[in-house]
Amino acid sequence: MLAVVVAYCPKESELVPLVESLCRQASGVVVVDNTPVESAADVAGMLQPLHEPFPGLQLVTLGENRGIAAAQNIGIRLAIERGDEYVLLSDQDSRPDTGMVAALVATAMELQASGVAVGCVCPAYYDEVSGQAFGFQVHSPGRLFYGSMPGDRAMPWVEVVTAISSGSLVPLRSLKRIGGMREDFFIDQVDIEWCHRARSRGFANFGTARARLTHSLGDAPLRAWCFGWRALNAYSTTRLYYRFRNFVLMARLSHVPLRWSIRASGYWLLSLYAHCLFAEQRLDNAKAIARGLRDGLLGRCGRMPAP
């Protein structure tokens, strides 16, 4: 099993503990580095002390930011070349619990042994930015829209609609049928689109409380008033552009259910309201969101164009 870590101008205090933890849990780890050459971040130097104790560690330096999807696809291709059965995807700011990988693999194997076509298996998440547990997105029988289930209730597992890519374990034989990550999304909603595509092709995604991951969603905490104060996550203007653009692009895809898009729109309206009224850069946020919505409606993909 190969763990694929995507890095972009990482903090050494976050990247090194993550990679060391994954090296102890996986048979191989590859860090795909999107850091531009002009950046001061020295990813190779950060990882140098780990190469001797963990000879299975690889570093792929791209020299430019090609986006998270392109970096993930590079790691996936390496896993296929190695002949691995599974690939684990990870962002640079995640912290897996000890035994997380083994628990995910065990869950995937049990599901596959029972005849289930597994898209991905993800851990229960704890969001370090907002200080909250991140619930699983589940669709209960007889209900029109999906709901949320606390991660610690997913024992031994629960089928989920979508999952965050960081910490997700994917069988490579499933990936070969579902396809890789959409590189024209560049960043944001890449994992969500892939989960919908997997479901449309007969695969099921799962979350399990057997495994736990601490992850940072967003850049900073954000409190907004909506029938009471809510703890949300604030994003940079660049991320807001991609998040809103790619949601619109995704909602237009035939394999994304309309009822999911309608239900998810509530979250995006709340995010727009919070970033435009309660965040620090309210005007800049509004401009980034408007630009993203416009480009999404026009079907524009790829890297965000210069203003």
Task: Give the DSSP letter string of 183-223.
Answer: GGG-SSSHHHHHHHHHHHTT-EEEEEEEEEEEE--SSEEEE
Nearest C-alpha neighbor of 244 from the set 260, 224, 268, 262: 268
Q: Above 90 in pLDDT, residue 307?
A: no
Note whether residue 304 is domain-resident: no
pLDDT single digits (tens) 11-32: 999 999 999 999 999 999 999 9
Instruction: Give the whole-number percent of the chain exceeding pLDDT 70.
Output: 99
Is 306 within a domain? no
CB atoms within 10 A of CB 144: 8
Gap between the Cα atoms of 222 and 231, Å rounded: 6
Lowest average pLDDT, out of 24-38, 163-177, 211-225, goes to 211-225
pLDDT single digits (tens) 232-259 = 889 999 999 999 999 999 999 999 999 9
Residue ending a domain, choose from 186, 215, 244 = 215
Domain count along the chain? 2
Task: List pLDDT tens digits, range 271-295.
Answer: 999 999 999 899 999 999 999 999 9
Flag whether pLDDT at 127 surpasses 90: no
- Residue pointed to by tokens 């031994």: 156
What is the predicted pLDDT for the residue at 47? 97
Regarding whether 264 and 120 lie in a shared domain, the answer is: no
pTM of the model: 0.95
Instruction: Kindly give the residue spans of alpha helices, DSSP state H, lying in the chain.
Output: 12-25, 43-51, 68-82, 100-113, 172-178, 190-200, 237-251, 258-277, 282-297
Are residues 20 and 131 located together in one domain of the fold?
A: yes
Q: Are residues 111 and 209 in the same domain?
A: yes
Q: Is 224 found in the same domain as 210?
A: no
Instruction: Name the residue range of residue 100's domain.
Output: 2-215
The pLDDT of residue 260 is 96
3-state secondary structure (DSSP) of residue 285: helix
Structural domain contains residue 149: yes
